[in-house]
Structure 1
Amino acid sequence: MFVKSVDASSYVKSGEKLFQLLDNFVEEIGEKNVVQVVTDNGSNYVLAGKLLQAKREHLFWTPCAAHCLDLMLEDIGKIGRVKKAIQRGIKLVGFIYNHTLALNTMRKYTSKTELVRHGVTRFATTFLTLQRLHKQKNSLRKMFTSDDWLKSNTAKDPKGKRATDTVLMPSFWNDVIYTLKVMGPLVRVLRLVDNEKRPAMGYIYEAMDRAKEAIQKSFNGNEDKYRDVFAIIDRRWDCQLHHPLHAAGHYLNPEYFYANPQIDDDAELISGLYKCIDKLSANDEEVDKIHGQLEKYRRAEGLFGMNAAVRQRTKSAPTLWWKSYGAQVPELRNLTVRVLGLTCSSSGCERNWSTFEHIHSKKRSRLEHQRLQDLVFIKYNQALKERFESRDLIDPIVLNDIDESNEWLVGEEDDGAENEFVFDDDNLTWGEVANVTGANEPITFTRQNTRFRKEAASMPSSSRRIRVEEGDNEEIEDEEEEQIYKLNTSEESEGGEEDLEEMFDDDSD
């Protein structure tokens, strides 16, 4: 629930000051009532969290899982072909929405289905942008090869030509598919930890494993295609996301514990579990009791072995399962409910800012801080109460959507867009269209490449059509691209447009 807000703008960059703020708040709430403190992953918060753990030995500091996953996606976005797909996709959508004719034409061919514009707050929005582009691929291809577009003045503008080339470029769609395959499962995990209705502590460990399996499956086990992605995932998981609470949550979730006979062989899980028991227990006597009670859980003895308990392992929310069948192990049950009832993310608290913005309008801009805080207290906690009352108490979180996150891409290769047919009853492919129109990978010049630019300018037009693959670290810059398009289309643009119009006019007659 929302308790109060603090204006920390004057010292938010100081880890020591943040520690004092958090420590005072823990003191106010009562240390025995606090299991974990979740913050952003900035270095100032990391320092504050470590200082807090050092002083308060019975609570955990954990980094925000949603922020960790967002940083993971951001790192993946720096991979060469992913970076190109994102840059081109964002520019394409931006171009369409910045030009009225392009926007109206797009809406005509997509039956008024809107594209998703990139958001700066979360890197995951780039996935949504590319996902919608991919779903509208055929509609966009029809649009950019239609008379409505080709005969417009906007299509003859350098940026319009660049948008046309992007849509007709097979390598762009190949890169889009690759990006969706590596990001899709991780975006599903992000949605899991970002929800405010059901706690995800008992699921994040399994969710990350399933995300990696889904990525591996989508490339048919071709390690060369996902090796760099797995390196990024493992690095972020090991240094930021993996935490004793996540391990304990996985071990104490009956759905996954009883489904894995080798779970006790996982030293990482067992270590995390024991760390949680030590930290969250009041004394050594309670620690010893919990270790003894663990054996009943492991062997499914007593109430844990009832037919109903066995059936409910996968049907009931883990906290409810423990409350229903853990009466014979009260200390272990109480600890487990505290762990499995935890969130993994602070993103729900970040959404308080939208509440602040809604209340802090121009008419109320002079409200004193206490009055403003009271209004937010009422609004946010009322929404929290409504979510609590409407939540599903019985059903557990289902991770099948992570397993199936790339199912809609099955059969789509990240190197086969050029072989897709333009018409169902004809052998014309989009690769042939790209060759005719010159919509292949364009030459990208850097500012250090002036010598090559001069040599290219002196080449015959046929030689200038040779495309050079972009380097992984090169930016696609507007100014340079316009120079490229002027160079590559100065002698052939009219012919390319005529070829394209003729090609599609012939087929439509």
Structure 2
Amino acid sequence: MASSSQETQGQGSSNADTDQPPLWSYVTKLEKQGVSGGCWKFKCNVCNDIRKGSYSRVRAHLLGLKGFGISICKSATAAQKLEMKQLEEAYEAKKAESKAKEVALPCEAGLGFKKRKGSSGPLERAFGVETRDQLDQEIARMFYTGGLPFNLARNPHYHRAFQFAAANKIDGYVPPSYNKLRTTLLQKEKDNNICSPNNVDTNALAYEQCSWIKDVHADAIAIKNFIMNHNMRLSIFSKFTSLRLLSVADTRFAYIIVMLKRFKLIKTGLQAMVISEEWSSYREDDTVKANYVKEKIVNDEWWDQVSYILSFTGPIYEMIRVCDTDKPCLHLVYEMWDSMIEKVKIEIYKKEKRPTSQKSIFYDVVHGILVARWAKNNTPLHCLAHSLNPRYYSDEWLLEDKKRSAPHRDGEISLERANCFKRLFPNPDERRRVLDEYTMLSTKSGCFSDLTSIEMMGTMEPKSWWVNFGAQAPFLQTLALRLLGQPCSSSCAERNWSTYSFIHSLRRNKLTTSRAQDLVFIHNNLRLLSRNPTDDEKMWDVGGDAFDSMEDVGFLEFADLSLDEPEFEQDLVIDS
């Protein structure tokens, strides 16, 4: 193929051709690659490296962008990069402006619609009716062509953007470009101090007491990376264990526990590897890291810390796993919570070798975190479902632990149950009947005084018990069958990964990890602020059109089930 060298003008020279991207002026085109397309063999005028690629790679090379399959220019100064970036943004804005094309409305495109003479009267012209209609149609086309959910129209920032533009005369304004949205504006929004932290003193104590957990996890990450990032070390590791090291992203559910569980399983293999002849005979350049990895793997104190983390987080992890299924478990959550707290306390006090009567600072911190999470995610429905489980009135369950009490003897449960009855049965007569039926259930009297029903309370599956023995309490039976068949949700304990999956979907999988995490950070903070208004915008990011359907509405998570949101409550309780 004949060489087609092209010498460009000097660096940063003005580009007379508006179709020519500006950063071509910073390289010298040497040879065209292929018959069609824009791929060239070029020489960088800054670092003198010879590379191949299209303009996107030229741009990535000069601006230092990663993920484009080309090394960055190490000779470019900060001033040069700033100049290149300004030229690129100006070019993108000019290109967008030159490509902007007014498209006539369908009614003006000759599709059989006839304009009525004199339809634009003085009143219409004064209020700009035609202009408003044209703008509405352009916005609608943006939704239709971009596949945007209609729920976006409830976004308060969507309204503020157009309100600001209408209230301020901005001649020649061009909307932010693709690159500006994902770089400059994104970083500027992240740097904004959106929500100031609360409970600083409490958080400082929690960080002080729990920072060692993060240190143990960091050591596990270092060991995993040292082994996985080299074929020879990975080959040696594979000889001593059949299990593989897990590379768990921090967007996964309980990712620290998952990784440490795998480390515990391969402990023997890891220790055999670092004391083997293959490990000793293999010499790597980075001996400092190799010695560090070996020191940690053969250190019994480090493994004791791993075991300790898994032991006191085990009850928490198991409870969340139970709640993260489709099986009915709403009526089991309250008891699981009490049992989980007690098991966590036992593991911590056993490790610290102190009686339960003494104070443990670490347990107080862990308990405070768990109680705060429970207070945030607990709902009255948990208490009501607990009250309608016949097992918790049986002698078998009550005698298992002397600290247990029946639901009607628990103050918190009774208060939340009463709130549920008020919401679900606003009619006073119906509520009185429900209270009478619950009195018979809790005291095992009336229609629930049959010996067979009492004997089966602790052994029969709750829904089956209500089917067999609850016919004479129709209100309570109907409510119990609906609640006892409801699964629970663990999404409120999932940190940010549900939001991450919402942002980093298969159609948007070109986002870099850092940019996706920035989007998660900004999204969560703006959602917190959006809860302040009391109008319809308060629910803009949760429900769909008029909250009439839970399908295909683009909501993030349906976790905060609360009687403060009766529309959602009724959708679950009544329509199930």
TM-score normalised according to structure 2 size: 0.46
Paired residue type of 1:317: E
**Alignment root-mean-square deviation, CA:** 3.8
The answer to whether the aligner puts 1:129 opposite 2:224 as a matched pair is no
* Structure 2: runs of 5+ lacking an equivalent: 1-146, 160-202, 399-404, 511-550, 553-576
Q: Which residue of 1 aligns with 2:149?
A: 7
CA pair 8-237 structure 1, distance change in 2 beyond 3 A: farther
CA pair 165-284 structure 1, distance change in 2 beyond 3 A: same
Is the Cα–Cα contact under 8 Å of residues 85 and 179 in structure 1 kept in the other structure?
Answer: no
**Bigger helix fraction:** 1
Report the 3-state secondary structure (helix = DSSP H, G, I; strand = E; otherwise coil) of the residue aligned with 2:472: coil
- 1:155, CA displacement in angstroms? 8.1
CA pair 236-97 structure 1, distance change in 2 beyond 3 A: same
The answer to whether the aligner puts 1:237 opposite 2:366 as a matched pair is no
Distance between the aligned counterparts of 1:15 and 1:244, measured in 2? 33
Is the Cα–Cα contact under 8 Å of residues 302 and 328 in structure 1 kept in the other structure?
Answer: no
Q: Which residue of 2 aligns with 1:108?
A: 239
Once the two structures are aligned, what percentage of the paired residues are identical?
24
The answer to whether the aligner puts 1:268 opposite 2:412 as a matched pair is yes
The answer to whether the aligner puts 1:317 opposite 2:461 as a matched pair is yes
CA pair 183-328 structure 1, distance change in 2 beyond 3 A: same
Instruction: Note the alpha carbon deviations across 1:169-227, whole angstroms, 9 max, x for none.
Output: 3332122122112211111011111001x122101111111111112222335552523
Instruction: Note the alpha carbon deviations across 1:113-169, whole angstroms, 9 max, x for none.
Output: 223322322341211211121222222111111111122124853332222222123
Distance between the aligned counterparts of 1:98 and 1:133, measured in 2? 17
Q: How does 1:162-241 map to 2 (within 5 A)?
A: 162-196=292-326, 198-218=327-347, 219-220=349-350, 224=360, 225-238=362-375, 240-241=376-377
Q: Which residue of 1 aligns with 2:388?
A: 252
- 1:253, CA displacement in angstroms? 1.3
CA pair 359-11 structure 1, distance change in 2 beyond 3 A: closer
Is the Cα–Cα contact under 8 Å of residues 392 and 406 in structure 2 kept in the other structure?
Answer: no
- 1:264, CA displacement in angstroms? 2.7
Report the 3-state secondary structure (helix = DSSP H, G, I; strand = E; otherwise coil) of the residue aligned with 1:140: helix
Q: Which residue of 1 aligns with 2:162?
A: none
Paired residue type of 1:172: W
Distance between the aligned counterparts of 1:314 and 1:359, measured in 2? 50
Is the Cα–Cα contact under 8 Å of residues 323 and 490 in structure 2 kept in the other structure?
Answer: no
- 1:263, CA displacement in angstroms? 3.5
Q: Which runs of 4+ in 1 moved over 6 A?
A: 75-78, 348-351, 356-362
Q: Which residue of 2 aligns with 1:90?
A: 221
Is the Cα–Cα contact under 8 Å of residues 155 and 164 in structure 1 kept in the other structure?
Answer: no
Distance between the aligned counterparts of 2:152 and 2:223, measured in 1? 40
Q: How does 1:73-472 map to 2 (within 5 A)?
A: 79-110=210-241, 112-154=242-284, 156-196=286-326, 198-218=327-347, 219-220=349-350, 224=360, 225-238=362-375, 240-258=376-394, 259-260=397-398, 261-302=405-446, 304-345=448-489, 347=491
Distance between the aligned counterparts of 1:333 and 1:194, measured in 2? 26
Instruction: Note the alpha carbon deviations across 1:469-496, whole angstroms, 9 max, x for none.
Output: xxxxxxxxxxxxxxxxxxxxxxxxxxxx
TM-score normalised according to structure 1 size: 0.52
Where relative contact order (Cα < 8 A, 6+ residues apart) is larger, the structure is 1
CA pair 135-346 structure 1, distance change in 2 beyond 3 A: closer
CA pair 339-146 structure 1, distance change in 2 beyond 3 A: same
Is the Cα–Cα contact under 8 Å of residues 447 and 473 in structure 2 kept in the other structure?
Answer: no
216-225 or 83-92: which moved more?
A: 216-225
CA pair 264-13 structure 1, distance change in 2 beyond 3 A: same
CA pair 305-102 structure 1, distance change in 2 beyond 3 A: farther
Paired residue type of 2:295: D
Distance between the aligned counterparts of 1:263 and 1:344, measured in 2? 20
- 1:357, CA displacement in angstroms? 6.8
CA pair 93-360 structure 1, distance change in 2 beyond 3 A: closer
Q: Which residue of 1 aligns with 2:164?
A: none
CA pair 305-153 structure 1, distance change in 2 beyond 3 A: farther
- 1:106, CA displacement in angstroms? 2.0
Distance between the aligned counterparts of 1:332 and 1:15, measured in 2? 45
Q: Which residue of 2 aligns with 1:417?
A: none
Is the Cα–Cα contact under 8 Å of residues 77 and 83 in structure 1 kept in the other structure?
Answer: no
- 1:231, CA displacement in angstroms? 1.6
- 1:324, CA displacement in angstroms? 2.3
Distance between the aligned counterparts of 2:270 and 2:285, measured in 1? 14
Report the 3-state secondary structure (helix = DSSP H, G, I; strand = E; otherwise coil) of the residue aligned with 1:133: helix
Paired residue type of 1:192: V
Report the 3-state secondary structure (helix = DSSP H, G, I; strand = E; otherwise coil) of the residue aligned with 1:199: coil
Report the 3-state secondary structure (helix = DSSP H, G, I; strand = E; otherwise coil) of the residue aligned with 1:153: coil
- 1:314, CA displacement in angstroms? 3.9
CA pair 256-11 structure 1, distance change in 2 beyond 3 A: farther
The structure whose Rg is larger is: 2
Q: Which residue of 1 aligns with 2:49?
A: none
* Structure 1: runs of 5+ lacking an equivalent: 18-71, 363-375, 378-509
